[in-house]
Amino acid sequence: MPARRQPAASTESVDNYLKAILALSGPDERRVSGTVLAARLGVAPASVTNMLQKLAASKSPLVEYERHRGVLLSPSGKRRALEVLRHHRLIETFLYEVLDYPIEEVHAEAERLEHFISERFEERIAARLGNPKFDPHGHCIPALDGKMPKQVSLSLTDVREEGTFVVDSVSDWDAPLLKRLKAHGIAPGARLRTRRRASDGHCAVTLGNSSKILRLSPDAARAIRISSPH
């Protein structure tokens, strides 16, 4: 297994910043504002500014930061973010598939463990799981070399007309919501049919062969990403 270059200050806080920037920058790797990053991490904007300045000024900078233009991950910062993300999603998969954790609990547990597992432990988990490409939420697991294929999907909130789709992934940020969606059968791979959007913003769907209409709140719809059936 190839050796990986670790950042000088590989702390839990640094990892969380790098992972948040990776998520917010999207597939086109756009700059992320300090305000958006602060909201994501739940910290004060001033704290975000201080941390980004430190990460940009370190001997091996983890970010490229300009106060009024936002922040980007540097190549080394991106490598570390993808490594931690790989840890996180492998742990989630292990907890769910091997240890039978409820789906709504795996994210928080993985958040606690992702920073501290060894490369050997990561390798053993991946081998035990058969080197999975997706976690239980439907999110891609970065490969060992840091590559991660782009998922072509759209938010359920972007669909306005009737149609048949497959659930591509479900957000892991809201555990109670994730539990409710799972109880309704909304999980990666589920087939759903959209109805016309209600005037109050709710989204009406039916699942599989069922004719029972399920009304999803805007928050629930935003948590679901879908793709066209193959």
What is the residue whose two structure tokens read 């004060």? Answer: 44
Q: Which residue pairs from 212-215 have beta carbons closer than 8 angstroms and sit at least 24 positions apart in sequence?
A: 214/184
Q: How far from each other are the two terminal CA atoms of the chain, in whole angstroms?
A: 35
Q: Does residue 7 have a pLDDT over 60?
A: no
pLDDT of residue 196: 76
Helix (H) or strand (E) holding 66: strand 63-66
Long-range contacts of 8-15 (CB under 8 A, 24+ apart): 8/58, 8/59, 8/60, 9/58, 10/80, 10/115, 11/115, 12/115, 13/51, 14/51, 14/55, 14/62, 15/80, 15/81, 15/84, 15/114, 15/115
Map residue 70 onto helix, strand or coil. strand
**204-to-38, 128, 163, 175, 187 alpha-carbon distances in Å:** 33, 39, 11, 22, 16
pLDDT digits (tens, 9 = 90+) for 48-96: 999 999 999 988 999 999 988 999 999 999 999 999 999 999 999 999 9
**Domains observed in the chain:** 1-148 (1.10.10.10), 154-227 (2.30.30.90)
pLDDT recorded at residue 44: 96
Q: What is the per-residue pLDDT across 22-31, written as a single tens digit (0 to 9) for each?
A: 999 988 899 9
Rounded CA gap, 30 and 220, in Å?
Answer: 26
User: pTM, whole model, 2 decimals?
Assistant: 0.88
Q: Does the pLDDT of residue 10 top 70, yes or no?
A: no
User: pLDDT tens digit string along 176-220?
Assistant: 999 999 999 999 999 999 987 777 778 999 999 999 999 999 999
Confidence of residue 230 (pLDDT cuts 50, 70, 90): low
Q: Name residue 153's beta-bridge partners.
A: none
User: Tell me: the pLDDT tens digits for 126-176?
Assistant: 999 999 999 999 999 999 998 888 878 999 998 888 899 999 999 998 999
SS3 230: coil
Residue 179 structure tokens: 């539990």
Looking at residue 8, its pLDDT comes to 38
